[in-house]
Amino acid sequence: MKQIDLSSKVAIVTGGAGDIGAGIATCLAESGANVAVVDLNLELATIKAQELTNKYGVVSKAYELDISSEKDVDDVFALINNDFKQIDILVNCAGYGKEGKNYYETPMKIARKTIDINLHGTGMCIKEALKYMLPRNSGNIINIASIAGRIGTAGSANYSISKAAIIAMTQSIARAHAKEGVRVNAVCPGYLLTNMWKQGVEKYSKILNKTPEETWKMLALDNIAMGKAQDVYDIGNAVCFLVSDLAKNITGQSLNVCGGSRFN
C-alpha cells in the first residue's frame, strides 16, 4: 500500500502553535517533513518545534510572526529559506475569529482586522512562498478555510466572509500557477472543540441556560451527519494527503473535513 512520505520536504505552518496548526505540524513531521513552526506566540511555537524534533527526528524550528505585517512576513520567510535552504510546503493556518456578534453589531475595526489577518495575511504568506517555489517549479500551498465559508454563520459573519474569500483565493492562485508546478488547495474544517469553540460554548451555555455538553451537542454535534466532532489530526491527515504525490493531480479544490455537516 502506498504511504505518504514527505521526507526531505520543508513545510511552513503558520499558526503552528495553535490547536489545528499544531495538529497539522505533528502530522507533517510524522510523515517525515521538516517543519518551520510559525506563530505569534514564540514560546508555544518553540515548545512545539522541540516536541517534533524529539519525537519524530525531523528538523523543526520556531519563528515568531504577525502575518498582518508585510515586512515581518518577508523577513521571516527569507529567514526560513536561509535556515532550511528550501520551502516546499506552506500551510496557512494562522487566523483571527474573535467576533462573537452578528454582522450588524460588529464594529468595523473588528471587521477590518478579521479580513486583514485571515485574507490579506494569508495572501502575503502565499506571495512570499511563491517567491521561493516558482523558481524551482515545485510547491504545495494549503489554505485552512472553514465550513463557515461554505454556509455562512450569523454569529461570526466576518469570519465566514473571510473564509469564503480564502476559498476563492485558493482557486484563483491555483489556476494562475497550475502549469508552473505549484498546487494550491484548501481544507475546510468542520466542528472541532478548539479553544475558540470552547469560549463560544461557554458563552452560549449561559445564554441558553444549558450545560456546556448540551450546548456543544446543540451547536455542533446535531449538525454533523456522522454525529461526532472532528479532531486536529483529521485536518492534519487531509493536509498531508493533499501535499503528497498521491494528490499530484489535485489543485484548486476545497476539501470539507466535517463529518458530513456540509455536502458539496
Positions annotated as catalytic residues are 159
Q: Write out the H or E segment, with its range, that includes residue 254.
A: strand 254-257
Cα-Cα end-to-end distance for the chain: 29
Nearest 5°: the CA angle 77, 83, 85 is 85
Do 191 and 223 meet the contact criterion of CB atoms below 8 Å apart?
yes
Give the whole-angstrom CA distance, residue 249 versus residue 259.
24
Query: Is the sign of the CA dihedral 14, 54, 188, 246 positive or negative?
Result: positive
- The stretches of 85-156 forming alpha helices (DSSP H) are 108-115, 122-133, 148-151
Do 9 and 89 meet the contact criterion of CB atoms below 8 Å apart?
yes
Give the whole-angstrom CA distance, residue 14 versus residue 122.
9
Phi (first) and psi of residue 12, to 5 degrees? -105, 130
